[in-house]
Amino acid sequence: MIGDLLNPVHLVLILAAALLVLGPKRMPEVGRALGSGLRSFRSAMSGVQEEADAMLNDVSVDLPEPARTRVAPTVSAEVAETIEPIPAEHAEAAAAHAEQVAVASQPEAKPEADQSE
């Protein structure tokens, strides 16, 4: 909407209407008043912008550094005493069982229904 008002043809029409309403004697003083008002508005806005930038630059946020190391799970002394090592003859069976458990714990993919029916 504002972009349409800034067409050169529209600006000429607005100036012509202002000339008819205000007259040739008051037109220069109204233009000066309008110019000084815009100038003071821009300087006030730049002051506000500078103040906001200064406030943002003064604020420092100290964020904690994220943990980069993985901590191994710990086992209490009582539990560690009860754990027995797997005998060598059972190691293969234990590995196969662990693989079966891992496969079984994965979610199954559902087959898509035939939509041609």
**Which of the two residues, 96 and 107, has the higher pLDDT score?**
96
Banded model confidence at residue 117, pLDDT cuts 50, 70, 90? very low
Please state, in angstroms and as integers, the Cα–Cα distance from residue 13 to each residue in 10, 29, 58, following that order: 5, 19, 48
pTM above 0.85, yes or no: no
> Which of 76, 71, 97, 78 lies closest to 86, judged by CA?
97
22: helix, strand or coil: helix
Highest mean pLDDT: which range of 1-10, 13-22, 108-117: 13-22
Per-residue pLDDT, averaged over 92-98, amounts to 81
- C-alpha span between 18 and 25 (Å, rounded): 12
**Domain residue extents for the chain:** 2-56
